[in-house]
């Protein structure tokens, strides 16, 4: 059973702080990892993807991947109230007949308060 686990939160941080979102996955063969942001009633929008161990930065967002620990995280620097949303961690199935399938975590609700 392929699983992706996230702390459902809610995670509350003050404006300007760093928000840290964590995700673990069970399939050691997974190669591709994605973070999506979902506002209430809306479809998920891609924030970042990461394939290699280490950090990947894009503006205020940094994704971190540690395949040995089967752990992926998302850091949001200088958090803004507009960042308040549900953040979904997703893992792309490795291949074969399952190629392209995303397995989602349950999502972490982030609230950034002024």
Residue closer to other proteins, measured from CB, 22 or 32: 32
Residues lying near other proteins in the complex (CB under 8 A): 31-32, 34, 41-46, 49, 51, 88, 92, 97, 99-107
Least gap, CB of 83 to other proteins (angstroms): 19
Residue closer to other proteins, measured from CB, 41 or 114: 41
Residue closer to other proteins, measured from CB, 62 or 105: 105
Least gap, CB of 17 to other proteins (angstroms): 25
Let me know if 109 is exposed, middle or buried by CB neighbors in 10 A (0-12, 13-18, 19+): middle
Contact 86, 110 (CB under 8 A): yes
Contact 110, 14 (CB under 8 A): no
Question: Which single residue is written with the structure tokens 């280490």?
Answer: 54
Concatenating the DSSP letter of every residue in 102-114 gives: EEE---EEEEEE-
Residue closer to other proteins, measured from CB, 77 or 101: 101
Least gap, CB of 34 to other proteins (angstroms): 6
């Amino acid at each position: 059973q392929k699983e992706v686990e996230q702390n459902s939160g809610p995670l509350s941080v003050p404006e300007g702080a760093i928000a840290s979102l964590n995700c673990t996955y069970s399939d050691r063969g997974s190669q591709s990892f994605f973070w999506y942001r979902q506002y209430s009633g809306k479809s998920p929008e891609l924030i970042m993807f990461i394939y290699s161990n280490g950090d990947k930065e894009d503006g205020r967002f940094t994704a971190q991947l540690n395949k040995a620990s089967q752990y992926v995280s998302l850091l949001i620097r200088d958090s803004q109230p507009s960042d308040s949303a549900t953040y979904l961690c997703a893992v792309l199935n490795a291949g074969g007949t399952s190629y392209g399938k995303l397995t989602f975590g349950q999502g972490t609700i982030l609230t950034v308060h002024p």
